[in-house]
Amino acid sequence: KILILDFGSQVTQLIARRVREAHVYCEVHPCDVGDDWVRSFAADGRLKGVILSGSHASLWEDETLRAPRAVFELGIPVLGICFGMYAIAEALGGKVDSSQKREFGYAEVRARGHTRLLDGIQDYVTAEGHGMLHVWMSHGDKVTEMPAGFKLMASTPSCPIAGMADDERRIYGVQFHPEVTHTSQGRAILERFVLGICQAQPDWIMRDHIEEAVQAIRRQVGDEEVILGLSGGVDSSVAAALIHRAIGDQLTCVFVDHGLLRLNEGDMVMDMFAGKLHAKVVRVDASELFLGQLAGVSDPEAKRKIIGREFVEVFKAEAAKIKQTHSRQVAWLAQGTIYPDVIESGGAKSKKAVTIKSHHNVGGLPEQLGLKLLEPLRDLFKDEVRELGVALGLPPEMVYRHPFPGPGLGVRILGEVKKEYADLLRRADAIFIEELRNFEDPQTGKSWYDQTSQAFTVFLPVKSVGVMGDGRTYDYVVALRAVQTSDFMTADWAELPYALLKKVSSRIINEVRGINRVTYDVSSKPPATIEWE
């Protein structure tokens, strides 16, 4: 196993993900776990290496951000990334300075010497015979003096020590981020470390994750009851299947129809979970309650908070009911929170994470919920969640459904939410999705639904003039949104074929009375987000 110590970088989980991609088991823990903890973690002899993450802080800002000494006393390989490299330098007698020039983003690094970590790994070789790497850098400080025993491994003109190595002790530091895809050889470098230098066994697969997760859930929950808010989206579905695998009927899924679901969604979800999975599912029709609470509210954050709050209220009420009919107490609220949700809600350990949107399943929860949170997908990225779902035996068409946000159409109706708007949006959206499934990309043989990561329709509460038959119309506008992404943290708008857009537009305008104009959103994330609110 590999231990990743987190100094609070937003991309720490990406390191974990890369290690998992190399089929090696790893765990992420905060950097201040302490020496005794590190020693006991290593006591079973399975710990093969430690990776120290980056951080958003500067080494000078926070004295608690130091690597536990025990990390260097175990005699196992250590890799420090960015801040992690400063932590190594600091711990072993090197020097770290606030650098004059901040480097953000793309950089070219010259790989030096013959270190075990970078030997033979390069993007190209210069005329002088230097191996060069395309990397992603993000830092302000830099190492100015290497600790004794280290040799120079990489450099850039503005950062003469961009990498350092002690092959003897197998301790390495890199200033750049091998875990992000912009560092083209990043995967090779991390694989070299984990498999080559640490000699960790590449025997970890998703099925193992299921087994580990099942055990962890059983340990956490004991014989207490769990309720889970099933939205029908990929995340809550996979969480439900995983928890159901772990504790069977101790799990009750609560499917809340908040009146902001897609067309026929409710029946489909019930059919899938109660019918096929044989899970306990309670269906609650709370649409009037939600729409009532949302009346007159147009601020996106306020809407999210209301929906989050009402969810919790409905859960509490359901929990109370279940408690009356069960002998055991409902003590847990399970949610399909995945890693990008945690990051974007500023809920990660990073002290500097910024709240971009409060996802209702993380940020909107009141402190005194009265239920403990069970979030078994918290460390996973979307594509890993899907892989997990398939490994759990869920049907691929369910697992490869586009994600649907907890607040549902509530964040796809701009401004105030009204039932009339939701009804129009549902019908328009169903047409868009149906045509995405119908249209195949001849180049790949895949439908455009499968070729996009998320696609939906947004309701704009503005009216525009149109002409239909020989009458004038004055109706609402919708925007179509389709994006391609692998991690939902960045996304490109999809270049849908004109024929598809044309068909969708004409069907929506002809079939959905009340909408007379269809637009297509050509914004990428960043700077836009995927949802409009």
Q: How far is the CB of 225 from ligand XMP (least distance, A)?
A: 23
Name which position in 182, 323, 503, 525 contacts ligand XMP (CB under 6 A). 525
Whether 196 has a binding-site annotation, put simply, is no
Q: Are 269 and 419 in contact (CB under 8 A)?
A: no
Residue 447 burial (10 A CB sphere; 0-12, 13-18, 19+): middle
Candidate list 103, 179, 310, 344, residue with the active-site label: 179
Residue for token pair 């409710």: 266
Whether 292 has a binding-site annotation, put simply, is no
Quick check: 360 binds ligand XMP (CB under 6 A)?
Answer: yes
Spatial distance between the Cα atoms of 322 and 281, rounded to a whole number of angstroms: 11
Is residue 344 flagged as an active site residue? no
Binding mask 408-427 for ligand XMP (x = CB under 6 A): ---x----------------
Name which position in 361, 452, 505, 516 contacts ligand XMP (CB under 6 A). 361
Interface positions, 463-492, toward ligand XMP (CB under 6 A): 488
Nearer to ligand XMP, 41 or 404 (CB): 404
Spatial distance between the Cα atoms of 380 and 371, rounded to a whole number of angstroms: 23
The secondary structure of residue 248, as a DSSP letter, is G
Name which position in 18, 230, 403, 436 contacts ligand XMP (CB under 6 A). 403
Of the candidate spans 9-17, 66-74, 241-249, 355-363, the one that interacts with ligand XMP by CB under 6 A turns out to be 355-363
Is residue 179 flagged as an active site residue? yes
Name which position in 304, 378, 401, 481 contacts ligand XMP (CB under 6 A). 304
Nearer to ligand XMP, 138 or 485 (CB): 485
Name which position in 344, 387, 429, 435 contacts ligand XMP (CB under 6 A). 344
Amino acid at 256: V
Spatial distance between the Cα atoms of 428 and 435, rounded to a whole number of angstroms: 11
Quick check: 405 binds ligand XMP (CB under 6 A)?
Answer: yes
Q: Dig out the tokens for 33 from the structure.
A: 């776990």
Candidates 83, 64, 80, 65; CA nearest to 140 is 83
Whether 505 has a binding-site annotation, put simply, is no
Amino acid at 207: R
Spatial distance between the Cα atoms of 364 and 310, rounded to a whole number of angstroms: 10
Give whole-number Cα distances, 293 to 259, 300, 409, in Å: 12, 14, 15
H-run or E-run covering 330: strand 330-334
Q: How far is the CB of 454 from ligand XMP (least distance, A)?
A: 5
Which pairing describes strands 440-441 and 446-447: parallel, antiparallel, or unpaired?
antiparallel
Whether 358 has a binding-site annotation, put simply, is no
Whether 234 has a binding-site annotation, put simply, is yes
Q: How far is the CB of 531 from ligand XMP (least distance, A)?
A: 3
Q: What dihedral do alpha carbons 405, 406, 409, 410 form, nearest 10°?
A: -120
Q: Per DSSP, which regions of 420-486 are E strands?
A: 440-441, 446-447, 454-468, 471-484
Nearer to ligand XMP, 86 or 532 (CB): 532
Nearer to ligand XMP, 54 or 406 (CB): 406
Whether 233 has a binding-site annotation, put simply, is yes
Number of H-type helices and E-type strands within the chain: 16, 21
Nearer to ligand XMP, 208 or 531 (CB): 531
3-state DSSP assignment of residue 465: strand
Whether 9 has a binding-site annotation, put simply, is no
Is residue 90 flagged as an active site residue? no
Cβ burial 399-423 (10 Å sphere, 16+ → b, else e)? bebbbbbbbbbbbbbbbebeeebbe
Amino acid at 409: L
Binding mask 436-465 for ligand XMP (x = CB under 6 A): ------------------x-----------
Closest CB to ligand XMP: residue number = 405
Quick check: 309 binds ligand XMP (CB under 6 A)?
Answer: no
Q: How far is the CB of 349 from ligand XMP (least distance, A)?
A: 20
Q: How far is the CB of 254 from ligand XMP (least distance, A)?
A: 15
Name which position in 17, 48, 359, 426 contacts ligand XMP (CB under 6 A). 359
Strand order in the sheet with 171-174: 26-30, 2-6, 49-52, 78-81, 171-174, 159-166, 151-156, 95-111, 131-145, 124-125
Q: Which residues pair with 154 in a beta bridge?
A: 111, 163
Q: How far is the CB of 359 from ligand XMP (least distance, A)?
A: 4
Amino acid at 329: Q
# chain residues binding ligand XMP, by CB under 6 A: 17
Interacting residue ranges for ligand XMP, rule: CB under 6 A: 304, 344, 357, 359-361, 403, 405-407, 411, 454, 488, 525, 529-531
Binding residues for ATP: 231-237
Q: Catalytic site residues?
A: 82, 177, 179
